[in-house]
Amino acid sequence: MKADDVFGNIEFSTNLKAKSIRVRILVDGLKVTLPYGISKQSAIDFIQDSADKILKKQEKLKAHTQSNPYFLEENTAISTLTFEIIFTKVSRTDIFFQLKNNQLKIEFPLNSDHKSVVSQKNCWNGIKYFLQKEAKRLLPERTRQLAMNNGFIYSSVKIQSSKTRWGSCSRYKSINLSYYLMLLPAHLIDYVILHELCHTRQMNHSEKFWKEMDTVTQYKSKALRKELKKHQIPNF
């Protein structure tokens, strides 16, 4: 049995600080970290000995991925702040993207498996380009407006690709916003921006911070925070 036939692509790397074989489980493969002096064959033997456990975790990850609200299916639409994503399968040999009239059309090869992790990633790589472009066009200006309206001072705004949080603020009052914010409705985008602006005054989540948030959200911060938790960042 070849391990990569069962688990998908296996990527090996060596880390001088590693004390044991470490296996990171992905939906379409494994990332294996080896201590210095340990062979790939030793790692493969280790993986095969743990095959049942690894496969169960991998299947769980696959199920989670396909239940993701951002999983692209034929004839389904996903709304962003400025455009709607329309995914269809047509007779062509490559993936085609076109943003026109507030619609991002994705045409996918008819005879290809769009449900595979690789296909979903390829589609989302194209979507991310347009999300980033729109985020850079709109979010810095929206931050400036909200800061001016509420008396905040910040040093800069950067648009990033963070998948772990919607935004952050440094101690130097530099605000970082994930371009995935464009997948949220406008009032939640404002909530995230205001959250980071409040951190320019309170670099914590103390009672003073939440009083600031209540003030700038007309006492809706708790409800908005609860609503935001219902949304997730795509994991592709």
String of DSSP letters for 137-184:
HHHHHHHHHHHHHHT---SEEEEE--SS-SEEE-TT-EEEEEGGGGGS
Domains and CATH numbers, the chain: 3-66 (no CATH), 77-129 (no CATH), 137-228 (3.30.2010.10)
pLDDT of 66: 62
User: Per residue of the chain (236 residues), what is the pLDDT tens digit?
Assistant: 455 668 888 989 999 999 999 998 887 788 899 999 999 999 999 999 999 999 988 888 777 666 678 889 887 789 999 999 999 999 999 999 999 999 999 999 998 888 887 889 999 999 999 999 999 999 999 999 999 999 999 999 999 999 999 999 999 999 999 999 999 999 999 999 999 999 999 999 999 999 999 999 999 999 999 999 999 998 77
pLDDT of 1: 42
pLDDT of 200: 97
How many other CB atoms sit within 10 Å of the CB of residue 186? 11
pLDDT of 62: 74
In angstroms, the CA 58 to CA 49 distance is 15
pTM of the model: 0.74
Q: For 152, phi and psi rounded to 5 degrees?
A: -95, 150
Q: Using the structure block, give the residue that is written with the tokens 């008396």.
A: 151
